Amino acid sequence: MKFWKPADKDRAAFEHARRITAYYSKSFYFSARMLPSEQRWATYALYGFCRHCDNLIDTPRQRTQTDLLREIQFVAEELRIAYNTGESEHPVIRAFILVAKSYGIPIAYPLDLLKGVAMDIQRTRYKTFDDLFLFCYRAAAVVGLMMTHILGYKDDRAFDYAKQLGIAMQLTNILRDVKEDKEMGRIYLPQTDLVRFGVSEQDILEEKMTPRLKTLIKFQVERADHYYAEAISGISLLNTDSQYAIYSAAKIYRGILRKIETRDYNPFLGRVFVPSIEKIGILLHEGLRMKLLSAQEKLFPIHSGITNK
């Protein structure tokens, strides 16, 4: 299946989404290229929409908080209309709505994403982890839920694991971007955790790398690792031809935590990343592992009675 016909302007919308993905997230683009063609282009469309929503507040512009909230509301209203009509002239919603309709993505998910964007405008602190969890759900877990519709699944429990992976990835973003976020006036680390470990907001704002802050960051890394461990065990519930990309994406993103560890948990030394050579190594390793699993399944088939969706 293709989402466009030759010379169709829908193709331009999908190509625009692909370019957004390649520009803003090399890790996501790297992993998406491992998917079958239809799922790959659908993933670009989804990421393009999500990135557009994030950029409403992440791109510096001369707009007030009221202006930004109105802009978010405009996107939400255009999205509702697109779900009703199946089309849009908005450059990123045009591709996204074709994917959403094709894969049955509920409108609640992208609307929750927009609520997360609005939340990020209105809040710069989170009192408890439960408060932060809601933000992580809206900012990232709903993306995992939408991706599950695109990737296909063998069991409804796949959605629970997708949510866990989204939480893990957002917690990783928060740990990676402590320095950048504090420079924009945001501290995502829960205030109750700061109190628990004896860290003050001033320690973070002034980049005081104390032993207590190291212990706090180490705790947050372990928390994110827990969510990865929970999520990875459920990737096998996805359709087989999609598992490779998600295993790879999870390992690449989890690798950011390992880079934080090698810096002795200091979040002020600049943004960490997984080098391309390591990403290639992960892809090769996962590709070989999936081929071995596929060969084993052919030799020793297991009839589970679960129907692919």
All domains of the chain, ordered by start, with CATH? 9-122 (1.10.600.10), 123-309 (1.10.600.10)
pLDDT of residue 304: 40
* Average pLDDT of every residue of the chain: 89
pLDDT at 6 (0 to 100): 57
Q: Could you tell me the two tokens for 271?
A: 């943004």
Q: Mean of the pLDDT values across residues 104-114?
A: 98
Q: Which two tokens stand for residue 248?
A: 């790879």
Q: Report the percent of the chain where pLDDT is more than 70.
A: 86
Which three-class secondary structure state does DSSP give residue 238? strand
The strand pairing partners of 238, in sequence order, are 153
- Residues 48-79: tens digit of each pLDDT: 999 999 999 988 788 999 999 999 999 999 99
pLDDT, residue 271, reads 84
For the full predicted model, state whether its pTM sits above 0.85.
Answer: yes
Angle between helices 93-103 and 37-58 (to 10 degrees): 130
Residue 2 confidence (pLDDT): 72
